[in-house]
């Protein structure tokens, strides 16, 4: 089962297309394996690096991935459980600014990333095929639960590609 790109909001299409080759049960795990291999190679000192003034540090990126995955998981569980209310969006820059990731150790961020990711996998793997087809409105766009799984993976892949290109 995969998302229907004809029903995906344009903003998310690039994320989904980047991981569309994988089946939904594997897509997030496959991206995560690549992500964790890269993150495990980064030192504490390097984790404080930003490639330009005003850009996020590597720690900020990891915190953003943690926060975003939690938000995507919330959206998915809301729609899988039949939520009819619209789920609001969030300002990712405000979240990063208020997380103070640079005050934490890189080791603690990696531990949180691993733990929250496992929780997301457990949640996504609990959804039935019927739940995967349920939809709701998040940030002004209608999306299905299956779409959110692919968006989550594609979002992570996008940021890791940026990390590889500009930080490492």
pTM value surpassing 0.85? yes
The length of the chain is 168
What the block records as the tokens of 128 is: 């039935």
List of domains in the chain: 5-166 (1.20.120.450)
Integer Cα distance of 76 and 136 in angstroms: 9
Token match 């939690």: residue?
70
* Per-residue pLDDT band at 1 (split at 50, 70, 90): confident
Note the pLDDT tens digit of each residue in 73-108. 999 999 999 999 999 999 999 999 999 999 999 999
Number of C-beta neighbours around residue 140 at 10 A: 11
């Amino acid at each position: 089962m995969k998302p229907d790109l004809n029903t995906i909001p344009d903003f998310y299409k690039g994320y989904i297309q980047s991981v569309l080759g994988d089946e939904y049960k594997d897509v997030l795990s496959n991206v995560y394996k690549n992500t964790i291999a890269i993150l495990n190679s980064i030192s504490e000192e390097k984790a404080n690096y930003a490639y330009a003034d005003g850009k996020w540090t590597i720690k900020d990126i990891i915190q953003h991935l943690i926060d975003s995955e939690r938000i995507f998981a919330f959206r998915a569980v809301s729609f899988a459980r039949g939520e009819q209310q619209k789920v609001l969006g969030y300002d990712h820059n405000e979240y990063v600014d208020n997380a103070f990731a640079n005050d934490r150790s890189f080791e603690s961020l990696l531990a949180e990333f691993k733990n929250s990711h496992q929780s997301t996998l457990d949640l996504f793997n609990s959804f039935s095929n019927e739940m995967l087809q349920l939809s709701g409105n998040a940030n002004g766009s209608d999306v299905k639960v299956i779409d959110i799984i692919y968006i989550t993976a594609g979002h992570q892949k996008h940021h890791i590609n940026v990390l590889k290109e500009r930080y490492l």
